[in-house]
Chain A
């Protein structure tokens, strides 16, 4: 405790004057007691002990540790134990990074009680979940909260369809309660790409089979969109096997779906989330303004080669797909930045 306190006091000159005033308002006494030499404190809140949260946190740590001459202190806590971080200490963090929806919920709840909560960057959270979470926040609070979404922008997903399977234009989409709001956005994105979409809507998982049967005759491609009701452990077998046997390739949004049998998947890995999260937090620590919530800049396209071969589909190489989606220029830039240890640097985890 004392060590942490010392760090914070030494940090004072490095902090913005406004930030210091807020901290003083919050816990003047606590701050007077502390004295240390660490330049910044970041609290990482993990939703639970699942490995992917750890991967994000580790990547975040690796990205932040060299900053401020190595004087960044990163505390890590599980959402379930967030209550054990006492009030003044919580409020004193420069940046809070919740990883996952549960962590974000816990942090928001905690921050609601603070007049001026710390800057918060949510990682590994779906856009929709974040928007729902941010809605009830006060304007002041909302201004201090941002996110790096786990999901890809629809435009990127549809670009992938055009690049990977240029001769397939009829796209089947099954929408569930969480994803139904995507319909109009998908329609408008599809229009400019000469794709025709056929939608089926389901209210619960038991309806997925019938929905699949209704879109298959009209589709030469099935686009999965994240929705717990549509693709889950109960439905994935039927979705992938039935469409495969009808020779309809499936485009997924996660590595799990790819490994299960989707033809191609577009996703950001936990490491990519951590890496971009570290870049954003790094800029925050350099006193840049909090960016607006954004879709991931780093992503991976992977092709299930066995399924592609079996369906008789010759897809462009993964590196070419990644590069095409990144834009060739970006890809080259990335390559030089990361000593080109792969033909498509952004596809690296």
Chain B
């Protein structure tokens, strides 16, 4: 009787969960054929094919991530045409800098970076905390890199390019896995993950540690601990709830830069929580509401080395905090078979606190409405029209429209025309900060500015050729972009041109960027992968306040080859060549270099699980090129990775 009662309750719960099938019957019946299921793959969650996207796009998948020999997130973008990856040790320790088509400096690079749809651009200066990812490379499913402005589809800050990290869905990770790295320059990493679930509730837990010594001969070591918990709950046939929380905690060593910037260790911590409720009625109809919170804290209380002539030594608070709350809703639907619509809106609050730059900083509120429609005019013509309207207290209301036409004159051959305008809202610090950003000893201060958002007008013509039988795709993009109202922090250059500007930060420069870039992805067999990319970029600018015209390599070439031998060995080689350049900001010229990375791995079965041992070497021939500054000297790095996984 009791058992019958339990069975009934179980059945009732099953039904209440809205499975569509009242209870998991073990006997085959017609229910298998008539059952309705939740829409797993809806339009908003589907990856667009390269020939149908309104912008040039590069997808980095887990196989490429492994083959690339990358150890940290920023390095992955060496694979992407037009991207430059550098390191800077000038500000608060070692920071990776990723930029697309230059114009970037140590604080930011005019990119939008999203993890599962939440922006991780720092609210203070707009940069990306590349060392603060609360998971490991293994937890990424794939990365979409949109090479071009895309405010209408990727939101605030999708200016020069957008990087969208899609982490593995909880249902993709079942069982336990652990990985450990050890190598030279203090490389010590470890991570562990566990995934499981019951019914339609799946979860995944990730925890790990990253540490390295940074560049040789500089105090720029980094240590981070991180953890993420994710749950995906399919509530009935329509509703899906994604819940994530995570954070990082660690420290950076900062080397001596002057008496007011002594050698010390700064502490960094981040935390986030995300809740996303999706309703999918069918593949083309649904909506979601997403709320997330991101917290960044840099603790840097230090004592300058020169004591003031009188009184007690004064502590300087070089820390900062940034807290972001963002609510977004989006609906997608179709009208007829040829029109697919997406529209939505978001509100964001950025609260920042940087005691050194400003005593009190008002919160920044940004509201935006966006929409785009994809019209399949015929089998060979796809049009995409989008618009974002953004309003914020600092720079008012502005528009970011976009128009793209994808025309396929023959099967698998597509030509894309894209015309778009995008905005980059000034960060609160740019607008309100009282800067002392001049070279050490010559700080310049000024009143806060009434800044306009930066704008870009991008014109793109691309060719996408696909050869499905050969598993090959070629993508070539020709572009001519005008970037206006570039926001400069005066004091970068202490010359007469800069002196003409009375404020801290001004819309001082403009730049025109023209060039061509392409990528070729070829998988001749399941065992072999070839990924090649190249770019040529010409930036012209009056360079009134910063050296924009040299801020990206004129040419860069990249080749990744990977092959699997005898089903147990993986080998890959990754070659990168780029011409010399000098980034904006407090940079020094970086000379041209060519570096080789290589990775060899062997998999085997042991203790009922899958194990892998891998040896990775970066800059194999030890080319001592410099990064942002002359003391950031690249060296050969190598490490051994051991991983073991038990599938459930």
Bound Cα distance from A306 to B19, whole angstroms: 24
> Which stretch, B33-41, B203-211, B352-360, B535-543, touches the partner chain A?
B33-41
Question: Closest residue to A252 on the B side, CB-wise?
Answer: B37
Verify A228–B49 contact, CB threshold 8 A.
no
- In the complex, whether A59 has a CB less than 8 A from a CB of chain B is no
CB of A134 to closest CB in B, whole Å: 15
Within 8 A of B (CB), among A216-243: 226-229, 231-234, 236-238, 240-242
> Which stretch, B68-76, B167-175, B246-254, touches the partner chain A?
B167-175
How many residues from A make CB contacts under 8 Å with B? Answer: 55
Verify A209–B27 contact, CB threshold 8 A.
no
Neighbouring B residues of A257 by C-beta, 8 Å = 37
Verify B39–A228 contact, CB threshold 8 A.
no
Verify B30–A100 contact, CB threshold 8 A.
yes
Verify A178–B27 contact, CB threshold 8 A.
yes
Within 8 A of A (CB), among B131-182: 141-142, 169, 171-172, 174-175
- Please encode chain B, from 464 to 485, with 1 for each CB lying within 8 Å of some chain A CB and 0 for all others: 0010110000000000000000
Verify A310–B49 contact, CB threshold 8 A.
yes
CB of A310 to closest CB in B, whole Å: 4
Verify B174–A236 contact, CB threshold 8 A.
no
> Which stretch, A7-15, A112-120, A121-129, touches the partner chain B?
A121-129
With contacts A205-B24, A259-B282, A306-B284 taken as known, whether A233 is within 8 angstroms of B49 at the C-beta atoms is: no
Verify A261–B26 contact, CB threshold 8 A.
no
Question: Closest residue to A213 on the B side, CB-wise?
Answer: B647
- In the complex, whether B305 has a CB less than 8 A from a CB of chain A is no
Verify A236–B41 contact, CB threshold 8 A.
no
- In the complex, whether B397 has a CB less than 8 A from a CB of chain A is no
Neighbouring A residues of B411 by C-beta, 8 Å = 314
- In the complex, whether A135 has a CB less than 8 A from a CB of chain B is no
Q: Of A52, A233, A237, which is within 8 A of B171 by CB?
A: A237
- In the complex, whether B597 has a CB less than 8 A from a CB of chain A is no
Tell which of A205, A256, A314 has the most Cβ of chain B within 10 Å: A256
Bound Cα distance from A129 to B648, whole angstroms: 31
Within 8 A of A (CB), among B614-648: 647-648
CB of A165 to closest CB in B, whole Å: 11
Verify A260–B41 contact, CB threshold 8 A.
yes
Verify B40–A260 contact, CB threshold 8 A.
yes
With contacts A126-B29, A233-B21, A261-B40 taken as known, whether A52 is within 8 angstroms of B34 at the C-beta atoms is: yes
Verify A312–B39 contact, CB threshold 8 A.
no
- In the complex, whether B20 has a CB less than 8 A from a CB of chain A is yes
- In the complex, whether B306 has a CB less than 8 A from a CB of chain A is no
With contacts A129-B27, A260-B40, A260-B41 taken as known, whether A233 is within 8 angstroms of B35 at the C-beta atoms is: yes
- In the complex, whether B28 has a CB less than 8 A from a CB of chain A is yes
Neighbouring A residues of B234 by C-beta, 8 Å = 237
With contacts A50-B34, A100-B30, A267-B33 taken as known, whether A228 is within 8 angstroms of B24 at the C-beta atoms is: yes
With contacts A234-B19, A234-B199, A260-B38 taken as known, whether A228 is within 8 angstroms of B171 at the C-beta atoms is: no
Bound Cα distance from A209 to B647, whole angstroms: 9
With contacts A209-B648, A237-B171 taken as known, whether A270 is within 8 angstroms of B34 at the C-beta atoms is: yes
- In the complex, whether B106 has a CB less than 8 A from a CB of chain A is no
Neighbouring A residues of B35 by C-beta, 8 Å = 232-233, 254, 256
Verify B25–A228 contact, CB threshold 8 A.
yes
Verify B283–A232 contact, CB threshold 8 A.
no
Verify A253–B468 contact, CB threshold 8 A.
no
Question: Closest residue to B567 on the A side, CB-wise?
Answer: A217
Bound Cα distance from A236 to B199, whole angstroms: 11
Question: Closest residue to B46 on the A side, CB-wise?
Answer: A310
- Please encode chain B, from 1 to 28, with 1 for each CB lying within 8 Å of some chain A CB and 0 for all others: 0000000000000000001110011111
Bound Cα distance from A256 to B32, whole angstroms: 9
Q: Of B21, B282, B283, B648, which is within 8 A of A210 by CB?
A: B648
Neighbouring B residues of A179 by C-beta, 8 Å = 28
- In the complex, whether A101 has a CB less than 8 A from a CB of chain B is yes
CB of A224 to closest CB in B, whole Å: 10
- In the complex, whether A68 has a CB less than 8 A from a CB of chain B is no
- In the complex, whether A245 has a CB less than 8 A from a CB of chain B is yes
Main secondary structure of the interface of B (DSSP, over half): loop
Neighbouring A residues of B412 by C-beta, 8 Å = 314
Neighbouring A residues of B284 by C-beta, 8 Å = 306
Bound Cα distance from A213 to B174, whole angstroms: 10
Neighbouring A residues of B85 by C-beta, 8 Å = none
Within 8 A of A (CB), among B532-566: none
Verify B28–A129 contact, CB threshold 8 A.
yes
With contacts A228-B27, A237-B40, A314-B411 taken as known, whether A245 is within 8 angstroms of B32 at the C-beta atoms is: no
Bound Cα distance from A175 to B234, whole angstroms: 24
Neighbouring A residues of B26 by C-beta, 8 Å = 177-178, 228-229
Bound Cα distance from A52 to B30, whole angstroms: 10
CB of B519 to closest CB in A, whole Å: 15
Q: Of A150, A210, A226, which is within 8 A of B174 by CB?
A: A210
With contacts A226-B33, A245-B142, A312-B50 taken as known, whether A306 is within 8 angstroms of B40 at the C-beta atoms is: no
Verify A312–B41 contact, CB threshold 8 A.
no
Neighbouring A residues of B29 by C-beta, 8 Å = 100-102, 125-126, 129, 228
Question: Closest residue to B195 on the A side, CB-wise?
Answer: A209
Neighbouring A residues of B328 by C-beta, 8 Å = none
- In the complex, whether B591 has a CB less than 8 A from a CB of chain A is no
Neighbouring B residues of A228 by C-beta, 8 Å = 24-29, 31-32
Verify B28–A241 contact, CB threshold 8 A.
no
Question: Closest residue to A207 on the B side, CB-wise?
Answer: B648
Bound Cα distance from A66 to B39, whole angstroms: 40
CB of B258 to closest CB in A, whole Å: 49
Neighbouring A residues of B469 by C-beta, 8 Å = 167
Neighbouring B residues of A78 by C-beta, 8 Å = none
With contacts A226-B33, A228-B32 taken as known, whether A312 is within 8 angstroms of B38 at the C-beta atoms is: no
Bound Cα distance from A312 to B466, whole angstroms: 9
Neighbouring A residues of B46 by C-beta, 8 Å = 306-307, 309-310
- In the complex, whether B383 has a CB less than 8 A from a CB of chain A is no
CB of B233 to closest CB in A, whole Å: 10
CB of A171 to closest CB in B, whole Å: 15
Bound Cα distance from A178 to B24, whole angstroms: 13
Verify B33–A253 contact, CB threshold 8 A.
yes
- In the complex, whether A304 has a CB less than 8 A from a CB of chain B is yes
CB of A5 to closest CB in B, whole Å: 34
Verify B33–A260 contact, CB threshold 8 A.
no
Bound Cα distance from A277 to B30, whole angstroms: 15
Verify B32–A254 contact, CB threshold 8 A.
yes
Tell which of A178, A227, A234, A311 has the most Cβ of chain B within 10 Å: A234
Verify B283–A306 contact, CB threshold 8 A.
yes
Within 8 A of B (CB), among A49-89: 50, 52
Verify A312–B468 contact, CB threshold 8 A.
yes
Question: Closest residue to A167 on the B side, CB-wise?
Answer: B469
Neighbouring B residues of A229 by C-beta, 8 Å = 26
Verify A259–B174 contact, CB threshold 8 A.
no
Bound Cα distance from A312 to B37, whole angstroms: 24
- In the complex, whether A244 has a CB less than 8 A from a CB of chain B is yes
With contacts A178-B27, A210-B174 taken as known, whether A233 is within 8 angstroms of B200 at the C-beta atoms is: yes
Question: Closest residue to B200 on the A side, CB-wise?
Answer: A234
Verify B43–A306 contact, CB threshold 8 A.
yes
10 tightest A-B CB contacts, nearest first: A261-B41, A233-B19, A260-B37, A178-B28, A238-B171, A310-B46, A240-B40, A261-B40, A101-B29, A226-B32
What are 12 pairs between A and B in contact, CB < 8 Å?
Answer: A101-B30, A128-B28, A129-B28, A205-B24, A226-B33, A233-B19, A238-B171, A270-B34, A306-B42, A309-B48, A309-B52, A311-B49
20 other contacts beyond A100-B29, A259-B282, A312-B51, with CB at 8 A cut-off?
A124-B34, A167-B469, A177-B26, A210-B647, A233-B19, A233-B20, A233-B237, A234-B24, A244-B40, A244-B41, A245-B141, A253-B32, A253-B33, A256-B36, A261-B283, A306-B42, A309-B46, A310-B49, A312-B49, A312-B468
